[in-house]
């Protein structure tokens, strides 16, 4: 019965959980998200490089603008100097022109009446020395006019030379300004292209981020759906388990009633603490089990409290009405409760007991749990069997109490031979 119920429970659970096998899993989403994150990281690296280029171009543009400003300032100074020289030249040209006019008038005067004037000037000399002196004055006057004309011509030439030099400087400044303006245009073009590239990369990054956020949302929705389906499956498994438990409890209740009326076998009183031998007979109210003899010889242990079918251990990891369930209760009743609920099937008890630090051996003793491996002395071929050693007899046989040998939740007693006892395993709790 136990195996059939377990089969139903496990099968129902597996079928329910089978619905949870999705076509994709969380790792698929993680892989896609990681791919998108790598793409975002790559875009960020490109953006960083472009930003660095933009910063460099911005600095170069700033330097070029400074040079342009300096060149334009120098150009303005040169233009101002040229304008000053032009003004100076204009003044000199005006003075020279005015003086030329006077000289021309003087020359015409000399041609018409100048000779007579000069002759009168000389003839009116009072003496020869006075005449010579007057001739010198005339010559000096004419020489001074010539020198003045020459000086004006030299001054004009120098001013024109300065203007020419300033014009050359102006040409140089204009050439430098033109070159800087060309460089500025080129840098501005490169700067604009990098700005466009940066904007495009930012758009790509936003698209990838949106893609990643979408995948994250899908993953969360997937995990939520999976959790809901798992919860439904677990609820269904719990429902099946509860239905099985209720069915088992109903059967156990019926079996216990039957056992109380017809099948419960009370052991004969033991006197192991006061005598080396005693005789126990089956209860007069119930028949003795077929495997039980009419008398038992106690040589070790015994004298435990009579089995109380209604006793329930506070910690019990066995299935109700099964052999494991009974040994949990019996151990607690005699004062050596099992401190771990996870002991597995009967055949697994030795392994669990060793892991918990309990004594496990092949030496029987009263008060220990006896484990029959699969098939030994009629033990279940899959789960094995466990019982409680009530006493060890002089001939090496054992007197044991157990459950589910004669029915679910039915407590029974029997004596096993020394040869069988030697093959069993014993656990001291």
User: What CATH number is associated with residue 290?
Assistant: 3.90.1720.10
Residue 2: predicted pLDDT:
46
The angle, 0 to 180 degrees and rounded to 10, between the axes of the packed helices 128-258 and 2-18 is: 160
Whether the pLDDT of residue 266 is over 70: the answer is no
What residues make up the domain containing 128? Answer: 26-230
User: Do 222 and 355 reside in the same domain of the chain?
Assistant: no
Structural domains of the chain, count = 2
User: Do 95 and 184 reside in the same domain of the chain?
Assistant: yes
User: Do 111 and 212 reside in the same domain of the chain?
Assistant: yes
User: Do 207 and 276 reside in the same domain of the chain?
Assistant: no
pLDDT digits (tens, 9 = 90+) for 217-247: 988 898 888 888 888 888 887 887 777 677 7
pLDDT digits (tens, 9 = 90+) for 59-84: 998 999 999 999 889 888 888 888 88
User: Do 128 and 210 reside in the same domain of the chain?
Assistant: yes
Q: Answer for the pair 3, 382: CB distance below 8 angstroms, yes or no.
A: yes
Tokens linked to 145: 């006019």
pLDDT digits (tens, 9 = 90+) for 185-194: 999 999 999 9
Whether the pLDDT of residue 52 is over 90: the answer is yes
User: Do 211 and 273 reside in the same domain of the chain?
Assistant: no
pLDDT digits (tens, 9 = 90+) for 273-282: 333 333 333 3
Whether the pLDDT of residue 349 is over 80: the answer is yes
User: Do 179 and 271 reside in the same domain of the chain?
Assistant: no
For 414-427, what is the mean pLDDT?
A: 96
Q: For residue 238, is it within any domain?
A: no
Q: For residue 245, is it within any domain?
A: no
User: Do 208 and 346 reside in the same domain of the chain?
Assistant: no
For 332-358, what is the mean pLDDT?
A: 94
Residue 412: predicted pLDDT:
94
Whether the pLDDT of residue 379 is over 50: the answer is yes
Q: How many helices (H) and strands (E) does the chain have?
A: 7, 7
Q: For residue 35, is it within any domain?
A: yes
Tell which wins on pLDDT, 15 or 377: 377
Which of 237, 331, 245 minimizes the C-alpha distance to 2? Answer: 245
Q: What are phi and psi of 251, to 5 degrees?
A: -65, -40
User: Do 284 and 418 reside in the same domain of the chain?
Assistant: yes
- The mean pLDDT value of the chain amounts to 79
Q: How confident is the model at residue 304 (pLDDT cuts 50, 70, 90)?
A: confident
Give CA separation, 141 vs 100, 102, 369, in Å.
15, 13, 158
d(CA 134, CA 336): 165
Q: For residue 344, is it within any domain?
A: yes
d(CA 220, CA 29): 10
Q: What are phi and psi of 415, to 5 degrees?
A: -110, 130
User: Do 294 and 156 reside in the same domain of the chain?
Assistant: no
User: Do 205 and 327 reside in the same domain of the chain?
Assistant: no
Residue 217: predicted pLDDT:
92
């Amino acid at each position: 019965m136990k195996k059939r119920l377990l089969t139903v429970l496990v099968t129902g659970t597996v079928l329910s959980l089978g619905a949870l096998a999705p076509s994709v899993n969380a790792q698929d989403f993680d892989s896609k998200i990681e791919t998108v994150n790598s793409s975002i990281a790559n875009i960020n690296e490109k953006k960083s490089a472009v930003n660095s280029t933009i910063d460099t171009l911005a600095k170069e543009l700033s330097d070029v603008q400074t040079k342009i400003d300096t060149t334009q300032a120098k150009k303005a100074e040169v233009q101002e100097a040229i304008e000053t020289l032009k003004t100076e030249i204009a003044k000199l040209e005006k003075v020279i022109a005015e003086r030329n006019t006077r000289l021309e008038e003087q020359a015409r005067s000399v041609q018409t009446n100048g000779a007579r004037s000069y002759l009168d000037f000389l003839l009116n000399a009072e003496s020869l020395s006075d005449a010579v002196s007057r001739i010198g004055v005339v010559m000096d006057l004419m020489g001074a006019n010539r020198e003045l004309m020459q000086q004006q011509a030299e001054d004009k030439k120098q001013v024109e030379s300065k203007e020419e030099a300033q014009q050359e400087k102006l040409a140089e400044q204009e050439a430098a300004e033109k070159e800087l303006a060309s460089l500025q245009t080129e840098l501005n073009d490169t700067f604009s292209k990098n700005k466009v590239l940066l904007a495009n990369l930012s758009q790509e990054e936003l698209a990838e981020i949106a893609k990643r956020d979408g995948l994250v949302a899908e993953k969360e929705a997937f995990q939520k759906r999976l959790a809901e389906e798992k919860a439904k499956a677990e609820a269904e498994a719990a429902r099946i388990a509860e239905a099985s438990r209720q069915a088992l409890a109903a059967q156990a209740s019926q079996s216990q009633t039957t056992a109380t009326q017809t099948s419960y076998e009370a052991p004969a009183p033991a006197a192991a603490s006061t005598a080396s031998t005693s005789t126990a007979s089956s209860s007069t109210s119930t028949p003795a089990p077929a495997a039980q003899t009419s008398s038992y010889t106690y040589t070790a242990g015994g004298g435990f409290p009579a089995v109380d079918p209604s006793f329930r251990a506070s910690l019990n990891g066995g299935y109700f009405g099964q052999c494991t369930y009974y040994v949990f209760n019996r151990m607690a009743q005699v004062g050596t409760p099992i401190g771990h609920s996870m002991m597995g099937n009967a055949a697994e008890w030795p392994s669990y007991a060793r892991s918990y630090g309990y004594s496990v051996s092949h030496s029987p003793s009263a008060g220990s749990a006896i484990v029959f491996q699969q098939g030994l002395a009629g033990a279940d071929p899959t789960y094995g069997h466990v019982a409680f050693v009530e006493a060890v007899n002089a001939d090496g046989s054992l007197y044991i109490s157990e459950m589910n040998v004669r029915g679910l939740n039915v407590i029974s007693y029997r004596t096993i031979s020394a040869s069988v006892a030697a093959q069993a395993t014993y656990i001291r709790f």
